[in-house]
Amino acid sequence: LVQLYVPLNFMGFIYREIKQSVTDLEALFRLLEQDAEIADRPGAAPLQTPAGAIRFEAVDFSYDPERAILKDVSFEVRPGAKVAIVGPTGAGKSTISRLLFRFYDVTSGRVTIDGQDIRDVTQTSLRAAIGMVPQDTVLFNETIRYNIRYGRWDATDAEVERAAALAQIDGFIRSLPDGYDTEVGERGLKLSGGEKQRIAIARTILKGPPILILDEATSALDSATEKDIQDALGRVAEGRTTLVIAHRLSTIVDADEILVLEAGRVVERGAHAALLAKGGVYAGLWLRQSEAERARETLARAGED
């Protein structure tokens, strides 16, 4: 038994390490199906998403019993609406997206999609309903076409190319000598962060999920790329229920609701204008980011002179 236990325990360790470090959550689906901690309930039904409404109801969560990470978090994203989560590093923003994917179960409270507790539905159907554009996209050492088609295997070439066009990466791909057949990754063409993110967006457009999680990159992209990516993200989010983990407040001024998370608690909530008028935590964050933005622009202009 000991002989058997040790390697299993070791596998569990490796698994947890991977679960934590991999940002391209979709790449983990197959692995997750082997997860003993999170298993389908006997008789679990496939998730039905006629509308795509998300609800967190009084959710408490901790990775370790000694340390509470989320405390009494409640919010709703109505079908097709956009809710943004902002807050300092370590506040628990990404944890909320991990719970929605059911990588972990809540400690108390519940998470529902269109009224179904996500613990009662099959993991495969849950994950098929959610698209994720992560901070850092991991691409396969394969062709660009393969990397986009990963969103939906039965997509035709024309559909792959249309998704790329919507993600504003089609022109770039066509300019390459091998076009869509260009190999990327370690042995192939190295892509910039912005290019990789647009491929992830194309992949998600192809998948066409009713629910979307956008995990904004913390790393600054140049402002033209940033604008292109925001446009592409806007397109993929159209008509889908969207949860944005935001770092730059300028990208979420149009959100239906903004939740300000601090140390695992929602300390403020509301639309951008109302939160600014309130003059609280969000208004302070906004002021600091606007000042930093102005300082960067001034520096950039000085550099051009």
Q: Which is nearer to ligand ATP, 49 or 251 (CB)?
A: 251
Interface contacts to ligand ATP, rule CB under 6 A: 20, 63-64, 69, 87, 89-95
Q: From the CB of 235, what's the least distance to ligand ATP, in Å?
A: 25
What minimum distance in Å lies between the beta carbon of 302 and ligand ATP?
30
**With respect to ligand ATP, which residue has the nearer C-beta, 96 or 163?**
96
Closest CB to ligand ATP among 93 and 207? Answer: 93
Nearest distance in Å: CB 89, ligand ATP? 3
User: Is the CB of residue 86 less than 8 Å from the CB of residue 286?
Assistant: no
Q: Give me the least distance between CB of 92 and ligand ATP, in Å please.
A: 4
In whole angstroms, the minimum distance from the beta carbon of 161 to ligand ATP comes to 33
Taking the CA atoms of residue 171, residue 172, residue 178 and residue 181 in that order, the dihedral angle to the nearest 10 degrees is: -90
Q: For 86, phi and psi rounded to 5 degrees?
A: -125, 165
Distance CA 233, CA 203 (A): 12
For ligand ATP, give the closer residue by CB, 32 or 91: 91
- Provide the minimum distance between the beta carbon of 261 and ligand ATP in the complex, in angstroms, as a whole number: 7
Q: Do 193 and 219 form a contact (C-beta atoms < 8 A)?
A: yes
Q: Which is nearer to ligand ATP, 63 or 140 (CB)?
A: 63
Q: How many CB atoms lie within 10 A of CB 132?
A: 24
Which of residues 88 and 239 has its CB atom nearest to ligand ATP in the complex? 88
Q: How far is the CB of 48 from ligand ATP (least distance, A)?
A: 28
The residue (of 20 and 48) whose beta carbon lies closer to ligand ATP is 20
